[in-house]
Chain A
């Protein structure tokens, strides 16, 4: 179990980590990065699975299924979209391709 101050430590340290990661990102990557972080919070799928996994009444199961459905969409969509954007960046990354051309 995570309780009390241990939880607080995790919350705060994770928050600092997130802040640090983003703070030196060039503008050109803002859109892919927003999409990427959108993918990362798709981890909610794991929680949705747990919630559905121990749901008992029909109402709980119905809401649990909605949760899993939505979060599965979040994960898959977030990944595909981010990957597509970043793939393009790599292919037409001009500095690199130019250096090679010369």
Chain B
């Protein structure tokens, strides 16, 4: 440890306060009323921790440091301000990946320093290697092990999150599967562990290890993050991002231990645990185990053909659809990510208000992973001004669908696909869905005939009581509004 063991009391105190503020802030963030102040408290703690770090004894490279901070903060701030709400999940993935990469890089710096010091000491006292440790060993055994583990986890989280980002951003084919993929991935992981273990064993015995081992360890860890994320389908991405979030937290905690930094240990560990729980909650909302999400898709390639879907797509025009809903008693609006992409939520809310004025009972039915993450759709509807009491969770609205006259599906696909209940070969089999198919009539607003995010055909669209309203979400919603207005003339 190059930092003197007597870190100045002020810095320690500020780190302590920062750690408390993080926990306090997260606690506040878990209730809608106090959430905003929560992030501000956590932000204050963070700012204080960053500022005092400059005053740690023996800090060099301050020019580089300030430049990197200014550039990093500036770019992220700029992007974060501009990105639309619909893109939030991939932004979380991107920023999370950066954190993981930073943790891995910290591990790399510490390991390089450790090894370089060992080599130097070996050269000086080749006859008595044990003295090497005394002169070089700023890392004890536990620190050394955690430096490797933290670097491994951080590197996986880094590339994995970047792949998740690219997939959600639509820069990448949705799934990438080939035969024996599971074994290839396992081999990459085993090789990464092996390289790390070899270097680690040498380090523990106070021998310098070959640089090649360290390079291979990092390269393989990074490769594993990519390989592991590639075959996972887009619909499962929220769970994956949440898991990488937890992993980054763990990596930060471990590297914090290497650097003997309490704030990092506590904050990282809190995020690691909170993220793990959040991951479980999300996986549960999709009725899948984490293992199934991570490894379930490998089998899908050879699992046989999806069930044939029979029937035809039956179009309807906007006026007829508007009339149908105007004279209905109960209407459920089922929004999906597509609605938000088309920026149709404002028009849809206008349409819903017109229906409500006519005495129609309107509800919004939200799937737990509508949008791209649990709660994402609530954020998007809140943005449009939809009151909270019109929004129903899946569990509440599903029993009501048989009493609903018209279900208007806009931009949702996989979360209303009955195949999830019926077709064991389908990649989304077992995922809980909104039972839209049970409504008396279904109208689906859809841009074209394409498949959903999971890349599967939707049986709902072919059902006898389903009509397709083709068009861009916003335009279609506008036509619906116009259709309602002409009724009143």
A contact set with B: CB distance below 8 Å: 1-3, 7, 10-11, 14-19, 21-57, 59-61, 63-90, 92-96, 98
Contacts and interface: CB of A to CB of B under 8 A. Distances in A.
A92 B75 CA distance: 29
24 contacts: A7-B142, A18-B272, A31-B375, A31-B379, A39-B42, A39-B43, A41-B96, A43-B22, A44-B248, A45-B50, A45-B69, A47-B259, A49-B54, A52-B64, A65-B68, A73-B72, A76-B74, A76-B76, A77-B79, A79-B80, A81-B95, A83-B43, A90-B32, A94-B386
B88 A74 contact: no
B379 A88 contact: yes
Interface stretch (B98-106, B299-307, B400-408, B428-436): B98-106
A85 B423 CA distance: 37
Contacts of B98: 70-71, 73-74, 77
Contact of A42 (B33, B46, B74): B46
Contact of A89 (B71, B253, B379): B379
B268 interface: yes
Contact of A34 (B60, B261, B278): B278
Contacts of B50: 45-46, 49, 75
Contacts of B9: none
B32 A34 contact: no
B247 to A, nearest CB: 10
Contact of A63 (B89, B108, B386): B108
Contacts of B35: 29, 32, 86, 89-90
A86 to B, nearest CB: 4
B1 interface: yes
A70 B76 CA distance: 10
Contact of B261 (A30, A40, A50): A50
B53 A46 contact: yes
Given A32-B29, A40-B22, A18 B80 contact: no
Contacts of B277: 18-19, 22-23
A72 B32 contact: no
A67 B30 contact: no
A69 B259 CA distance: 18
B255 interface: yes
Question: DSSP class of B's interface residues: helix, strand, loop or mixed?
Answer: helix
Contacts of A18: 26, 249, 269-275, 277
Contact of B255 (A21, A44, A60, A88): A44
A19 B279 CA distance: 11
B281 interface: yes
Interface stretch (B109-117, B182-190, B199-207, B227-235): B109-117
A66 B252 CA distance: 16
Contacts of A43: 18, 22, 46, 49, 252, 256, 263-264, 267-268
B85 interface: yes
Interface string B408-435: 0000000000000000000000000000
Nearest to A49: B53
A80 B59 contact: no
Question: DSSP class of A's interface residues: helix, strand, loop or mixed?
Answer: helix
Contacts of A34: 92, 241-242, 245, 275, 278, 373
Nearest to B256: A47
A10 B46 CA distance: 20
A15 to B, nearest CB: 4
Contacts of A83: 36, 39-40, 43
Contact of A41 (B69, B91, B99): B99
B335 interface: no
B59 to A, nearest CB: 4
Contacts of A94: 382, 386-389
Given A37-B274, A80-B77, A89 B101 contact: no
B262 interface: yes
Contacts of B382: 88-89, 92-94
Contacts of B5: 1
Contacts of B376: 31
Contacts of A39: 39, 42-43, 46, 95
Shortest Cβ-Cβ A-B pairs, 7 listed: A72-B72, A18-B273, A80-B80, A14-B269, A94-B388, A67-B105, A77-B76
Given A35-B92, A68-B69, A29 B32 contact: yes
A29 B36 CA distance: 11
B194 interface: no
A47 to B, nearest CB: 5
